[in-house]
Each structure stands twice: as structure tokens, then as C-alpha cells.
Structure 1
Amino acid sequence: MKSALALDLLDGPLLVIAPHPDDETLGCGGVIAGAVRRGAVVHTIFITDGGASHLNSIQWSRQSLAAQREREAAEALARLGAGAQPRTFLRLEDANMPGRDSAAYRQAVDAVLAIVKHLAPRLVLMPWRRDPHRDHRDSWQLTMDAIAASGQRPEILEYAIWLDEFGRSDDRPGEGEMEQVAFDVTAVLDAKRDAIKAHRSQLGELVHDDPSGFVLAQPTIERLTGPAEVFWRQCGQ
């Protein structure tokens, strides 16, 4: 594992891509908190509305849950010290993002492209390209299409949320494809752990009438809240 890129990358600007509200904290909350402490601008884009986590709930409609998840995302950013930092909610449908050949997809790419052009990020943090969740893969593709259209060449680091738990062998980086980069987030780990607590709907604290609904398991949280945040960087980037 390579230890780290130059820390001045955290001076920003940074663009964070979160497929769902909570991925920003689980995947790179420590880097967000550390960058903000360094005075960086950190713009977070939430790609989907997160409304599919409890589809069988009667008390929580998809729309009300999506609104709740936006509130949780805002609270999580505040707990990371990024309460005043810019964020964008694209509100694409959770677990049903538009196909790449659709008008809705092109509209979403254009929205991300406008942010990339305005922000001119030095560093982009996005989900791992083959993370075993369709929204994570689609969010990666959407962001890459926007960056390609921008003509910019930011540093790109990819975080994996579900690879270690559900990934197949071909989901993992091939030989010579990627290198690992780790950031020590010990100094902001308490803030990251506190930010995860803001995502109450995903912790089983709000929705009680859908036993089939998603709940973040404690082992998953523990795995993603260690002293280092690890990313994949394409070899030769």
C-alpha cells in the first residue's frame, strides 16, 4: 500500500461524489473533515435520493424518506465541519438511475459538468468503479463522463464501500490496474463517527415498520471507521 499522496491535495478544491446520503461519511468523511480544517472548499454531490432503503414502510413514503435522508446528509456534513460547504442533491432515483443513453442521464451529466467547471477540483473522491452496488457503479460512470467533458484532469481517488463484503474476484482491481492510497484520519475520527450517527434512518432508529429495509450493520461501520481511509488510484494517473 502506498502511504499517501501529497497532503496539499487536501487544500482543494475537492469534489466528493456520494451515490447515496451516508456514502460521503462512510467512504471519505475523514478526508472531508481534514480538508475543511485545512481551509479547503469541499463540494459534495449526492447522486440519488436514497429513497429506496425502506420501500415496504407504510409510515415512511419514498418521498418522505428521501427528504429525511437529505436532512441527515446536511447534519452529517455539519458534524464533519462542512456545514457551510457547498452541496448538490441531484435526486436521481435510488436503485433506478437513468440509463446512459437517456435524456435524464445527459441532464445529470450536464449538472455535474457545470459543477466541475465552476469548482475546478484538484481532487475528486468518488465510489469505486466496480463496487458491488449498481448506484455506486453508475455514479462512477456519470462522474467520469462529466470530467471527460470538462477537459480537466483532477486527481481521482475511488473509495469502496461494499467491495470487501459483497465483491466478487472480478470486482477487485486487476494486476497493474490500481494502487492504494491511504490518508491518516486519526485526528478527525471522532467527527467521522459522530457524522455517521446523523444518518439515523440507515441505523434502524427511525423506520420501524419494514423489517426487510436496509440497516447499516455495526461490523460495516467499524470496518469503515478505522484510523485510515483507503482509496484506489489508477496506475499511471
Structure 2
Amino acid sequence: MTDPGPPRAFAAERVLVVAPHPDDESLGCGGAIASVAAGGRQTHTIFVTDGGASHPGSATWSRERLAAQREVEASNALECLGAADHPRSFLRLRDADMPAEGTALWREAESKVVEIVSDFRPDLVLLPWRRDPHRDHRDGWRLVTAALAGQRPLQLEYAIWLDELGAAGDRPRSGEMVECRLDITPYQAAKRSAVAAHISQTTNLIADDPQGFRLTAATIERLTGTEEIYWQPCGR
């Protein structure tokens, strides 16, 4: 099902953006962030993991150095989107190794998200897709939805890897979601600049790990068109 009128959702005054890794905020929600910022409204971006697992074979970029670099890139990307002065939080959970649900580390992270939600009071939350093929996206969804228990902000979900890596069962089921499309034509250039700001993921900055992760041109092109697609749970 497609909702022809998503502007109601994106007129929210306070938008909480949940990015499993630094770069997901730009790839998935860059247009929405830029639109909110241009309208004089507020975003708060939660970066769930540290992003430190993308180049495990590098001898010159330790996990800690890479994680610090990715935080700088995240801030640069938000600046590209007009959100340089908007709040952001880095939970710094281990990329590709988030704590299991219910463990002490999980509960600590959940408490941090509860505090962020309580302070920021979002009326819209942009979440990673609940069945995205990447485990950190699924775990990020579980973590934040647990923290939102009892809260009623509007929730929309965005997919990053579903079209490239997902199985048929990962897609929205009949009657589960309403598709919302946001025209980001005025902000497309800003979104592409924000993605490019993640230089550890888009360039040869880290040159000593041939097997390290790098966003392909095809992935960037797919995710930086003139629309962003979100899903709203039916009945919400």
C-alpha cells in the first residue's frame, strides 16, 4: 500500500533519526534531515554502532582510529545537510558485534536511548527497517523500539540493504506497512554531498585493506535519487 501524502509525517517539529552506522543517516534519511533543517525544525541523530568494523585488515587504521574517523565523518555529513548545530548521540556499540538483547550492555544502551527520547521528545522517529539483511540494522531497530515502549511518536522505517541483499521474506508483508515516498529533489545535491563526506566508506582513504568495505557507485546511485522511501506500520 502506498500513502500518496507523506508530508504530514515530515512536517514533524522534532525528528529522531536512528542510524545503525555513520553513513546510514545520509544514505537512508539525508533528504528528510535536510528538509527538516531547511524548515527550521530539529533533528537528533542516534548513531548506534561505532562503524569500526569496515576495514578489519588494515594495519594502519585500528578499530579505534577508524571509529573516531567515522564520528568526524558523521558530523561533516550533518553539516552538509544543514544540521551542523542539531544534536547527535554516539552510542558506540561495536559494529557487527552489538550486545545480545537483555545483556547488561544492551540494557545500558537502551537506557541511554530512553534518556534521549525523554529529553528530545520526538514526534517522528526514522528507524532502520526491521528486517534489513544487515544484523546491526535489525538490532538497532530492536534496541530503539524497546526504548520507545509506551511512547507514541510516529515511526517510519527505511531500508538500506534490502534491495541488494534481502530475501523475499525480508520485505514488508501484506497489510504490515504503508509505503511513504518523500520527494527530496530540492535536497538531492546536499544528500549526495553528505554521503561523500563519509570518505572512509567511499574513497581509498584506507588503502591497506583490499577486502575492506566500500560503498559501490551502484549502491550510492540507488540510494541518492529524488525520492526516499519509508514504511509506516499499519495502524500507527
Question: Would you call these one fold, judging by a TM-score over 0.5?
Answer: yes
* Cα pair 1:189 1:227 within 8 Å, conserved: yes
Shift of 1:8: 6.2
Q: Which runs of 5+ in 2 are unaligned?
A: none
Shift of 1:101: 1.7
Following the alignment from structure 2 to structure 1, what is the Cα–Cα distance between the partners of residues 187 and 115?
A: 31
Q: What residue identity is the alignment partner of 2:115?
A: A
Q: What residue identity is the alignment partner of 1:41?
A: Q
**Equivalent position of 1:65 in the other structure:** 66
* Cα pair 2:9 2:154 within 8 Å, conserved: no
Following the alignment from structure 2 to structure 1, what is the Cα–Cα distance between the partners of residues 194 and 181?
A: 20
Q: CA offsets, 1:83-142, max 9 Å, x none?
A: 000000000000000001200000000000001111111100010000000000000000
Identity %: 55
Shift of 1:4: 3.1
* Cα pair 1:3 1:183 within 8 Å, conserved: no
Following the alignment from structure 2 to structure 1, what is the Cα–Cα distance between the partners of residues 74 and 8?
A: 26
Shift of 1:11: 3.6
* Cα pair 1:176 1:235 within 8 Å, conserved: yes
Following the alignment from structure 2 to structure 1, what is the Cα–Cα distance between the partners of residues 111 and 4?
A: 35
Following the alignment from structure 2 to structure 1, what is the Cα–Cα distance between the partners of residues 137 and 41?
A: 25
Shift of 1:205: 2.6
Q: What residue identity is the alignment partner of 1:54?
A: H
**Equivalent position of 2:93 in the other structure:** 92
Following the alignment from structure 1 to structure 2, what is the Cα–Cα distance between the partners of residues 172 and 224?
A: 17
* Cα pair 2:50 2:67 within 8 Å, conserved: yes
**Equivalent position of 1:36 in the other structure:** 37
Alignment map for 1:149-160 (pairs within 5 Å): 151-160=150-159
Is 1:205–2:204 an aligned residue pair? yes
* Cα pair 1:109 1:145 within 8 Å, conserved: yes
Aligned residues: 235
**Equivalent position of 2:176 in the other structure:** 177
**Equivalent position of 1:216 in the other structure:** 215
Alignment map for 1:12-31 (pairs within 5 Å): 12-31=13-32
Q: What residue identity is the alignment partner of 1:15?
A: L
Q: What residue identity is the alignment partner of 1:136?
A: H
Shift of 1:27: 0.3
Q: CA offsets, 1:9-68, max 9 Å, x none?
A: 434200000000000000000000000111111000000000000000001000000000
**Equivalent position of 1:136 in the other structure:** 137
Is 1:52–2:50 an aligned residue pair? no
Q: Which runs of 5+ in 1 are unaligned?
A: none
**Equivalent position of 2:189 in the other structure:** 190
